Amino acid sequence: MRTSKPRLEQVARAPLFWLAILYVLVGVAYAWVTPVLEKPDEHGHYGYILYLREHHALPPVLPFLERSSAEFKQADQASTRAKLAFEFKQPPLYYIATTLLTSWLPDDPDPDQLLVQNPYVWFSVPTYRNDNRNRFLHPPDMTPLILASRLVSLLFGLGTMIVAYLLAAQLFSKNSLVPIATAAIVGFQPTFLYIATAINNDSATSFLGTLVLAILLYRLRKGDWAYFAVLVGGILGLAASVKVSALVFVPLTGLALLFIHRGLGRAFFRDGIIIVVVTLLVGGWWYARNAWLYADPLALAAHTPGDMETGALLDRLGYDLNSIERTFWANPSPVFVSLIGLDEVLIWWGRISLGLLVIGIALNYQSVRDDLPTWIVLLSWPVTFLLLLVLYWNQQGSWPFGRLIFPAIAPTLLLLVLGWQSALPQRWRRPALMLSAGAVIIVSVLNPFVTLYPLFHPSREWQAEQVQYPVGTVYADAETGNPVARLIGYNLPQPYAAPGSYFPIELCWEPLGQTNMPYAMFIQLLDLSQLDAQKNPTVWGRRETYPGLGNRATDRWALYKPFCDTVFMRVFPETPTPLGAAVEVGFNDLEHNNRLQAVDPEGNSVTLAVVGRVPILSSRDLPTAARPAQYVLDNAIGLNQVQLADAPASSLTLTLTWQSLRSVSYDATMFVHLQGADGNILAQVDRQTLEGRYPTSYWLPGQTITDVVNLLLPPGAPQGPLVLNVGMYTWPSLQRLPIVDTSGVPQRDNVIIIDVPKK
């Protein structure tokens, strides 16, 4: 008892202790922030645990061994249980351990509801990061079983970090910064921490692999010790019971034994036989079961679909290496997303560290040569897994995922730390290691809040702030009349859209009820001036998605908790400009094509739920510096130029160039009246500008609008003198806009008079 207290105080003062505390706290954030089942293949691993909880027996591998890849994909799309059974091909140890440690928790109330797929995840906006990254539709809250299962994985990640410290401590004293820097960089490598907080067997594999390597390196450098071979064989057997790829540890152990025993001597074969026998006794039973039941001990038919086209190795090598680097350091989404600054920091940290390692080996060639067995053993782990990934796994299934190197993450990052230690001058090493490890820790701490939360939770809580354009439309069930949602209003981050672009619009919603199935939200850009034979407007842009981009589906969203959702609409490239597009927003049941009924703020049901408007402009339509106007209407609209074109005697063509001086809320009607000498109107055009395609309420200050008006003259019309009366009025009041000339002189009857020359 006298010695326990000083030892506890010593542990509490150790940097590794506080690093472990920080690791657990940050890991909880990684586990909590990412929605349920969004981490790689998590639904399949979760299904394995559910099967063990329900049946208390191992799941069958047979259905997967008998199906082709195409058949499995079809089943995966049709059957919830097929989705949950995806990882039944894996050895069971991780799942048994997780099931036992979480057995005290209640079952999830409805596992099937967690597997409703988001079909829009594969149709996200190019180059835009935070758009539809949720593969599944999610309940409002994290389930206790999933969170606890993720925390079990976190324990294996913690073990990997601690063993990485012990691994590095064999090369450098604990007073050196190398062991603690290695532990920090291994534990806080953001993608590893992301995987180590997933329902996934990768962190357990990394832990056991790192433990084997640490024991091998200790034996290589410190000499013989009792039960070495039995211990290594036992850990290898456990690793083989966690993941099939852990079998790679066995030949790597054989390579280390060659250096430990300095060749193929008696001691080599003695330890080798003991290790193989113990490995088979501990972990071989599952492989024997597969051989007996399925004639496939490794379950390769389930792991490697044979009908997948991957392309020639040389043709895809550059792409694969780039993808491996990117997914090793960043990119937690199942699809590639654009990099942000934190991702670039990590990628460049890796590149710089690798360059320093090469320089360090060249500068310290003699010391490396003197300790060549240690270097070969360390290098063999990452090199082997990288070669397997490039030459085999990528060719079997096109999986250029950097996380597949994580079984060798500790030696990989230890070597990169050695690059900083060996390539820099003595006086720079300590501060460089501190800054290097500190940078990785800072990025990792920021990652849940800067990367993960915006990626999977792109919507924001509405804070009762004033929206730019209030709406108030309510969407209700068409049969029952029960309200489902109220559109509070919308905000436009950009003043106009462009053809061929994605235009953002932020919609602010208040959930009022839940539907019996998820309804997709759609947004359309309509030209109300162009109707087809069925009186439907022309559609020039559309986007369909789920509210919250998968996080706030209508059958499970939290009621009376308003939120704002930024949605990017695709504007069709062939859209004519300038165009004043009406914005229609609605909800649609994808399975039955039933819409929610839109009800305006006055309580009237509307067929076309137009809630706003957006100008669509090309580069030639953009606002310019204001020009001197010949006439000004309502102190808001300038008439810059009037041109009369030569035309046949039966018609008159007038080109009017308008300019917006300030925004207006009304849609003015333009009138052009051809008047004879007797004052009678011979021809007239009364319409909104550009045939109604671009009303004045859409005009942006500084924008120039050119409109061409054709007047058909009646037969026998006099040749002159004729005048044109031009102006604007509002509907339905017919009140003309006041007009002044350049000198500010009001025009009589608010009309611009233009003389028509004789033909």
Two tokens, residue 170? 């064999």
Q: What is the pLDDT of residue 173?
A: 80
Nearest to 166 by CA among 215, 203, 208: 215
Identify the residue whose tokens are 């960089």. Answer: 185
Q: For 532-661, list the strands marked E by DSSP.
A: 537-545, 563-571, 579-589, 594-595, 597-599, 605-606, 610-616, 631-633, 637-645, 651-660
Cα separations in angstroms, 31 against 76, 152, 153: 26, 11, 10
Other C-beta atoms closer than 10 Å to the C-beta of 636 total: 17
Q: In terms of residues, how long is the chain?
A: 759
State which amino acid sits at residue 367. S
pLDDT in tens, 570-620: 999 999 999 999 999 999 987 778 899 999 999 899 989 999 899 999 998
Q: What is the pLDDT of residue 76?
A: 43
750 near 668, Cβ under 8 Å? no
Q: What is the pLDDT of residue 3?
A: 54
- Taking the CA atoms of residue 353, residue 356, residue 362 and residue 365 in that order, the dihedral angle to the nearest 10 degrees is -60
682 near 676, Cβ under 8 Å? yes
117 near 136, Cβ under 8 Å? yes
CB contact set of 385 (below 8 Å; sequence gap of 6+): 248, 404, 405, 407, 408
What residue ranges define each of the domains in the chain, with the CATH number in brackets? 4-108+143-455 (no CATH), 460-619 (2.60.40.770), 631-756 (2.60.40.770)
CA-CA distance, 160 to 196, in Å (whole number)?
Answer: 10
Which alpha helices (H) appear in 36-143, and where do they start and end?
Answer: 42-55, 62-65, 69-78, 80-84, 93-101
725 near 685, Cβ under 8 Å? no
CA-CA distance, 416 to 550, in Å (whole number)?
Answer: 39
338 near 128, Cβ under 8 Å? yes
CA-CA distance, 65 to 67, in Å (whole number)?
Answer: 6
CA-CA distance, 89 to 62, in Å (whole number)?
Answer: 9
Q: Are strands 722-730 and 752-756 parallel, antiparallel or unpaired?
A: antiparallel
DSSP secondary structure, 367-387, as one string? HHHHTHHHHHHHHHHHHHHHH
Query: Which stretches in the chain have pLDDT values below 50?
Result: 1, 64-78
SS3 179: helix
Edge to edge, the sheet with strand 704-712 lists: 704-712, 651-660, 637-645, 631-633, 739-741
Break the chain down into helix, strand, coil percent, rounded to 5: 45, 20, 35
CA-CA distance, 738 to 735, in Å (whole number)?
Answer: 9
DSSP lists the bridge partners of residue 502 as: 570
Q: What is the pLDDT of residue 69?
A: 44
Q: Are strands 752-756 and 579-589 parallel, antiparallel or unpaired?
A: unpaired
CB contact set of 383 (below 8 Å; sequence gap of 6+): none
Cα separations in angstroms, 282 against 203, 319, 646: 20, 39, 97
Q: What is the pLDDT of residue 753?
A: 92
CB contact set of 412 (below 8 Å; sequence gap of 6+): 381, 382, 405
